[in-house]
Chain A
């Protein structure tokens, strides 16, 4: 854990400088004055700062060193200053403390003050020089160093045993010092309390203004410290070289007891027991009663305290005591911080007796910028320390219990009594009440929020709504889901070669551009290749909005590849809409992951909901290592399809259901299917005509014409939105629906080896009618073609013969069937050809052409290549025909 956010920059300091600590110590000496040897700003700043806490005049003289002094030394200024102080204040003791300036120019105040005493012939005034460079430490070190120096300078001789107890007080408020004195008085103990600021820094109003307020530790009492029975020093964190108790022990053999500031029941107990054992006096009944009341109070408020998560900061000695108070009351000190460098604090608080669940974090040499960060990070709900921590309250809204020095933004800092049993009780009450106030101010709000205020629900609803809006936006731009989105391009990546079911209408062993239907692809890509291809395509097609995975097998049967591909492409373009199509067998297993991958559109092919019918369509189902057939296979598949569909829809995924209309098998069942998938939440259904693929079981089933298809779609439309514009894309389709340009991006251009048998027999001459605008590439839909290029193939040579103009046969699918006469015209135009090469063709015209013995080849790419391929195909067909014969 870092002490500070920054090493070299202190942002909002959690410490002051040494001189201010020394001033505080000396203000507790009777009839004393303080002179800071340096530039006058130091004394002015410290005066204004202390005045704001104590609400008393704070007289600190300055030697007002100026530039001349920095060159010639500050001797004359110092002596002049001392003279004026003596004249105006007639003090018994004057402290001469250094500043950064005096230390840097190397002022020897020891010598200068000695000289001054001799020069002035001073007898009744003690001058105590003390070195307090601002860079030498903080107010904490300044305070104890000053006390040690006072003892060293005043208690020079061993006095006779006097039975007194030396009490070295920590830097407490005048109120606390009064309280400590009350405790000592209750015991009836003779003591020397050093320092005693109880009256000097909190002077009562009197008729006459005393320039040096009365009170403070008397010099002659300090002299007696050497003969005391013991020293009790509130200084668990005080280094021995600035410990007055240590000095008295080493020099005069005064037994030395360290104790903490008596804040908290344990610390107070220790202090009281020490007093009792050293003085051999019983603990007064009044203190016992106070202790009893404290215990009673601690128990009464423990339930509120346990919610406390406190940040404590300041003088290490005070922080230590206050931390102990928190710990014994169940308030978790989540951060204990001091601006002073102190390793001891960490050691002291990391004791083995910790009975709180969370280890406190302890940092020293820190600043408020850092404390603020941790306060937030550790979810603190209370801060305990001086007024400077108000920056945290202002910025983070964590309430502050003011304790320590300075308290300049509230009154009464000088009167605070937080020591002893009664003081501890007051401190604890202040902490508890702050927690309660926080709780009460926020309680109603939080309860309301929790139970009555719909705002949270609203928020969730809003989020859901936003989510839906986003999906709706994506749906709008998805060419397969919205007809209006046909301007947007989609790209199918063929990354899923394997399939887990076998449909009777499918034959995926072909890899040929002449097949344009689902399950067909020219190449299978790895996810990495797919991502690469995506980048390439994206750079050329700027309206690429959709990325789909449509096989050639099943996207979910190749889930690893599917997932990886989506992840890779998402990184490249997070805005792209992901969709995939599946037979739905594995859907319940992967639905959740698909959602988290960001797949918003899923197409499920559900051809039946009746397993009996399904059994006719599906040959087999491979499910988790089991091979099922027949009704069992269909039943399992249908169950999983619907389950997946229901789940996805409930989670906001837009689901399209594809249904292949197979005459005589499911054509009358489709309406039921649509109704059921509607119930399961499908967004749209797409009824497609069967493409009797060569080599598939349904190869010879009758074709469905557009009229029948659209009639069925219209019927189903009552239940569910229907898709009219499906083009039954290839697994590697790229571009707009109307224009598949996948061949431009294919790794391996299709040229040869398209059929299983590549051997060619004796070649014949064929005539081809090609739908092309330019004569170079096949780029026209059969119905849209205004002219056909006629090519002749013979002896491996392709020759352009002529152009045949036709009037437009078809302007849109809706009209196709109504204008039969136009077919005749086109058929006439292509008459005499062995085959027609088109980009796309409707099924009805295709049937007519086939009936006429004209082979229809749907393809794309270069005319020459297509013709060569077609020739091979024709040869194959012929061969097959011969074989059948």
Chain B
């Protein structure tokens, strides 16, 4: 395998070879030292990365799913346009509540605005947005040129807040900040904890939780909520799938944070622990076994026999409903292999669901993850801050004088620490099989090459590399948008996923499209150009 990898990397110029080498490792279970990967570093220019920008992480990922806020893109039209309804984060309003999810708002800056400044236009755009939608909150997200022409969006936000008596937040998430969308997540997290969380006072129920890092793609959040509510949890807020600013205000009232997507939201988890004393546990509701484990871990935290009994009851009920049909799908999928390249958590989460189906993951990689997402949070202290991570603000959080409280005693915490992932994420790599590949920031070229080397049956990624897999005769499943399917989370979602995978690999069309390696030996030498 290593030889093959080297062969692939040799096609790079020397500097790139050196760089990319650090981002690719073969899992060695018996390695003496824990294996380390390079992640969250600058993208190699010209390499056709799949990464997005800071704005994408802030506006597209974290703020986008809030359905009661006008998320206003301050910049030229493209950025707003390209993030308009493309992430399939579903939302459902109640009653005559305002639903802003399917809208795109942009200040549509023109050349003159770039030359003379766009603040005036931003102010007027806010006025217009208030006039027509009367929203309770507005979130301004800036794009590349805004940071350079010196528009003070914070001042505009302050002005608008006073002028219209609504909450107006400014997010300086210019695309060039950081090395990927990850910086944008952090900026969005900072804004939410600084200005929104902790401003509400809703009375909470017995087992109150926040669901963090669940963006309700294809309705995942709804399926998770259904099960949690069935058990009896009071979900105070969801960050941020089908979420509202109004809900977020009360997040500090919840007793526990459960974190689904570690990468995009761990900042809030951590900051809420410091500020309000709220513990967080890492959960994974993708996959049947992992959903069961997550539910049990939550019950352990609350240490309540009733809750535990109810959890087992619901698990039994839900599982018995899906078990027979999953068995059928498993027969089809068993023994297949998959390559996963997605997100900052999904490439880990989906390994477990695929495992439920008897599918082995031979490659997994993240687009924009940090080392802790691969290796576990224990490496956090060893990650050196570089120039790029330094320019994303890291907040100094102090315990909140009124809302800080101790939920569980130190004694109890110590006791359950080893049972459940309390304030801890183990990362993706520990669970992976020996000899499987871990690749950070997989690019177009490597995708092609690795597909040839690994010959997986299933390639799970996004739309940009989906067609590369198709051209190579490999079934591909989009794990960003689910190819207009879903939900895939929880028990019932697992069935949907199993159905889609089984259907995907058994479609008769594949008979007419046979991957080259199945008919002829691997081609050696340089790639075919277009001449």
A39 within 8 A of B: yes
- Scan residues 319-352 of chain B and give those whose CB is less than 8 A from a CB of chain A: none
| CB atoms of B45 and A10 under 8 A apart | no
Does B300 touch A at the CB level, under 8 Å? no
Asked if A64 contacts B77 (CB within 8 A), the reply is: no
Contacts of A47 in B (CB 8 A): 464
* Mask: chain A, 356-369; 1 = CB below 8 Å from B; 0 = not: 00000000000001
| Alpha-carbon gap, A58 to B84, bound state (A) | 20
Contact B103 A13 (CB under 8 A): no
Query: Assuming A8-B124, A15-B81, A49-B82, is B105 touching A44 (CB within 8 A)?
Result: no
- B466 within 8 Å of A (CB atoms): yes
Does A60 lie at the interface of the complex (its beta carbon under 8 Å from any beta carbon of B)? yes
Do B82 and A46 touch (CB < 8 A)? yes
Closest beta carbon of chain A to B213's beta carbon, Å: 21
**B1 interface residue (CB < 8 Å to A):** no
| Residues of the B chain whose Cβ atoms lie less than 8 Å from the Cβ of A55 | 467
Q: How many A-B residue pairs lie within 8 Å, measured between CB atoms?
A: 271
Check A8 against B128 for contact (C-beta < 8 Å). yes
Bound Cα distance from A6 to B125, whole angstroms: 8
Task: Find residues 114-142 in chain A having any chain B CB closer than 8 Å to their own CB.
Answer: 133-136, 138
Cβ contact within 8 Å between A135 and B113: yes
- Among the 9-residue stretches A76-84, A179-187, A447-455, the one with 4 or more Cβ atoms under 8 Å from chain B is A76-84
The answer to whether the Cβ of A45 comes within 8 Å of any Cβ in the partner chain is yes
Q: Does B203 contact A (CB under 8 A)?
A: no
* CB contact between B149 and one of A67, A77, A104 (< 8 Å): that residue: A104
**Interface pair B77/A138, CB less than 8 Å apart:** yes
Contacts of A104 in B (CB 8 A): 114, 144-145, 148-149
B313 at the A/B interface (Cβ < 8 Å)? Answer: no
Interface residues of B in 36-73 (CB under 8 A from A): 42-56, 72
A7 to B520 CA separation, bound complex (whole angstroms): 61
Closest to A408 in B: B86
Answer whether residue A729 sits at the interface, using C-beta atoms and an 8 A cutoff.
no
Residues on B with beta carbons closer than 8 Å to the beta carbon of A172: none
A20 CA to B84 CA in the complex, in Å?
16
Q: A48 and B464 in contact (CB under 8 A), knowing A40-B52, A135-B113, A135-B145?
A: yes
B45-A78 in contact (CB<8A): yes
A51–B42 CB distance below 8 A: no
Residues of A within 8 A of B513 (CB): 205
Residue of A nearest to B109 (CB): A135
Task: Pick the residue among A12, A30, A90, A136 that contacts B103 (CB under 8 A).
Answer: A12
0/1 interface trace, chain A 33-66, chain B, CB 8 Å (1 if under): 0010011111011111101100111111111111
Proximity string of chain B (451-472) to chain A, C-beta cutoff 8 Å, 1 when within and 0 when not: 0000000000011111110011
A525 adjacent to chain B (CB < 8 Å): no
The interface-forming segment of B154-162, B170-178, B266-274, B398-406 is B170-178
A11 at interface by CB-CB < 8 Å: yes
Q: Does A70 contact B (CB under 8 A)?
A: yes
> Which residues of B sit under 8 angstroms from A69, Cβ to Cβ?
176
Contacts of B56 in A (CB 8 A): 41, 44-45
Question: Which residue of chain A lies nearest to B514 when distances are taken between CB atoms in the complex?
Answer: A207
* A residues less than 8 Å from B13 (CB atoms): 83-84, 87
Contact yes or no, A80 B45, CB < 8 A: yes
- Asked if B490 is at the interface of the complex by the 8 Å CB criterion, the answer is no
Asked if B11 is at the interface of the complex by the 8 Å CB criterion, the answer is yes
Of A9, A57, A67, which one neighbours B129 at CB under 8 angstroms? Answer: A9
- A846-867 CB contact bits vs B (8 Å, 1 = yes)? 0000000000000000000000
- Chain A 2-39 interface residues, beta-carbon cutoff 8 Å to B: 5-13, 15-17, 19-20, 30-31, 35, 38-39
Cβ 8 A contact of B124, one of A7, A13, A78, A91: A7
| Pick from B45, B177, B471, B529: contact of A64, CB under 8 Å | B45
Q: Do A44 and B468 touch across chains, with their CB atoms under 8 A apart?
A: no
Is A101 a contact partner of B144 (Cβ separation < 8 A)? yes
A391 within 8 A of B: yes
Q: Is B234 in the interface zone, CB < 8 Å from A?
A: no
Least CB distance from B454 to A in Å reads 15
Residues of A within 8 A of B149 (CB): 104
Q: For A67, list chain B residues within 8 Å (CB).
A: 176-178, 387-388, 391
On whether the beta carbons of A101 and B49 are closer than 8 Å, the reply is: no
In the complex, chain B residues 335-389 whose Cβ is within 8 Å of any chain A Cβ: 387-388
Report how far A866 CA is from B79 CA in the complex, Å: 88
Q: Which of A16, A83, A207 contacts B77 (CB 8 A)?
A: A16
Q: Which residue of B is nearest A18, CB measured?
A: B78
How many chain B residues touch A (Cβ–Cβ < 8 Å)? Answer: 92
B81 touches A13 (CB 8 A): yes
Q: Which residues of A contact B463 (CB under 8 A)?
A: 48, 51-52
| Closest beta carbon of chain A to B121's beta carbon, Å | 5
* In the complex, B519 has a CB within 8 A of chain A: yes
CB distance from B478 to the nearest CB of A (A): 10
Which B residues are CB-close (under 8 A) to A64?
42-46, 49
Partner pick for A84 among B46, B54, B76, B531, CB 8 A cutoff:
B46
Verify A9–B125 contact, CB threshold 8 A: yes
A44:B53 contact, CB within 8 angstroms? yes
Are B78 and A16 closer than 8 Å at their CB atoms? yes
Identify which of residues 474-531 in chain B touch chain A, using a CB-to-CB cut-off of 8 Å. Answer: 513, 516, 519-520, 523, 526-531
Contact B530 A45 (CB under 8 A): no
Q: What sequence of 0s and 1s flags, for each residue 763-790 of chain A, a beta carbon within 8 Å of any chain B beta carbon?
A: 0000000000000000000000000000
Let me know if A466 is at the binding interface, CB within 8 A: no
- Beta-carbon contact of B144 and A8 below 8 Å: no
Which chain B positions have C-beta within 8 A of A35?
Answer: 46
Interface hub of B72, B108, B143, B465 (most chain A Cβ within 10 A): B108
Task: Tell me which of B44, B52, B144, B529 contacts A44 (CB under 8 A).
Answer: B52
Task: Kindly report which residue of chain B lies nearest to residue A214, judged by CB atoms.
Answer: B530
Confirm or deny: A212 has a beta carbon within 8 angstroms of a beta carbon on chain B: yes
Taking a contact as CB atoms under 8 Å apart, the answer to whether A85 and B46 are in contact is yes
Contact B445 A39 (CB under 8 A): no
Given A44-B52, A133-B76, also A66-B528 (CB < 8 A): no
Which residues from chain A contact B296 at a C-beta distance below 8 Å? none
Q: Are A101 and B148 in contact (CB under 8 A)?
A: yes
Best-surrounded residue of B11, B148, B391 (most CB of chain A within 10 A) = B148
A13 and B49 contacting across the interface, CB-CB below 8 Å: no
Q: Does B304 contact A (CB under 8 A)?
A: no
In chain B, positions 70-125 with a C-beta closer than 8 Å to chain A are 72, 75-84, 86, 102-111, 113-114, 121-122, 124-125
Q: Is B303 an interface residue (CB 8 A)?
A: no
Q: A40-B52, A51-B463, A52-B463 are in contact. Are A207 and B519 (CB under 8 A)?
A: yes
Distance (Å) between the CB of A390 and the closest chain B CB? 9
Residue of A nearest to B121 (CB): A8
Report the Cα distance A47→B465, complex, angstroms.
10
CB atoms of A17 and B77 under 8 A apart: yes
B residues within 8 A CB of A31? 529-531
A residues 69-104 touching B (CB-CB < 8 Å): 69-70, 77-78, 80-85, 87-92, 99-101, 103-104
Contacts A45-B82, A101-B144, A104-B149 known; list 12 others, CB within 8 Å. Answer: A6-B128, A12-B103, A13-B108, A40-B43, A41-B175, A63-B46, A66-B178, A78-B45, A83-B46, A100-B75, A205-B471, A209-B472
Q: Which 10 A-B pairs have the closest CB atoms?
A: A41-B53, A81-B46, A17-B78, A81-B45, A84-B46, A31-B530, A45-B82, A135-B76, A39-B175, A10-B108
Can you sample 28 A-B contacts with CB below 8 Å? A5-B132, A9-B125, A10-B104, A12-B84, A13-B77, A13-B104, A17-B77, A30-B530, A31-B529, A31-B530, A39-B144, A40-B180, A42-B53, A48-B86, A56-B467, A66-B42, A66-B179, A67-B391, A82-B46, A88-B445, A88-B527, A90-B529, A99-B144, A101-B148, A104-B148, A134-B75, A135-B114, A215-B530
